[in-house]
Amino acid sequence: MSENEARENLISVSREHLPDTLINLFVALLIWLFGILVFLPAAYSISPRGLPLLCSLIILVGFSLFIFRSFDGLQSLLNSTSDFLAYVYIRRRNAKVQVERLKTASRSISYVITALILYLLYSPFLVAIHPALNGLVLIPIILWIFWTLFKTVNVLLLD
């Protein structure tokens, strides 16, 4: 695959997946914004014990539904963007690294960034359910991030 093929692949994947993915992500973002800025503060002011838990669970289900619906398109977009960025990096830096290694590294980095953003979006709902739940979700995410970055560094450094 060349840079032009990667560009064409990015364009075709964007035309196919970008509209549905953006719609799902924007709806999830609107649910998140209304949940965090309107419903959870109102639930805490009405009844600080039981109502925030129920409200958080309802918002969490709706938010998760649209996030999960966008996963397929988001993964395709991240992969094709990472492939294109690997070719651009090689062209601009005259790098001696193999293209496949840079593709793996850029995919891993994009997955890590996406996972961190998703965790930060889920965090307020998890805290409203139970503060310890936020930490319990954070531990496997941090372990996965370290494992992914370790794998990425190994791929880049091995000859």
pLDDT in tens, 105-115: 899 999 999 99
pLDDT of residue 111: 94
Buried b (16+ CB within 10 A) or exposed e, 108-141: bbbbbeeeeeebeebebbbbbeeeeebeeeeeee
Q: What is the mean pLDDT of residues 22-36?
A: 96
Local confidence band at 97 (pLDDT 50, 70, 90 cut-offs)? confident
Is a pLDDT exceeding 90 seen at residue 31? Answer: yes
Is a pLDDT exceeding 70 seen at residue 78? Answer: yes
What digits encode the pLDDT tens for the residues 36-72? 999 999 999 998 888 989 999 999 999 999 999 999 9
Q: What is the pTM of this model?
A: 0.87
Judge contact between 63 and 125, C-beta under 8 A. Answer: yes
Q: Comparing 9 with 67, which gets the higher pLDDT?
A: 67
Local confidence band at 146 (pLDDT 50, 70, 90 cut-offs)? very high
What is the Cα Rg of the chain in Å?
19
- Overall residue count recorded for the chain in this entry: 159
Is a pLDDT exceeding 90 seen at residue 27? Answer: yes
Write the CA distances from 7 to 21, 82, 154, integer angstroms: 19, 11, 27
Residue 22 backbone phi and psi in degrees, to 5: -65, -40
Instruction: Give the orientation angle of helix 3-34 with respect to helix 51-93, to 10 degrees.
Output: 160
**Tokens at 84, concatenated:** 């294109």
Residue in 84, 100, 36, 95 with CA at minimum distance from that of residue 63: 36
pLDDT of residue 18: 92
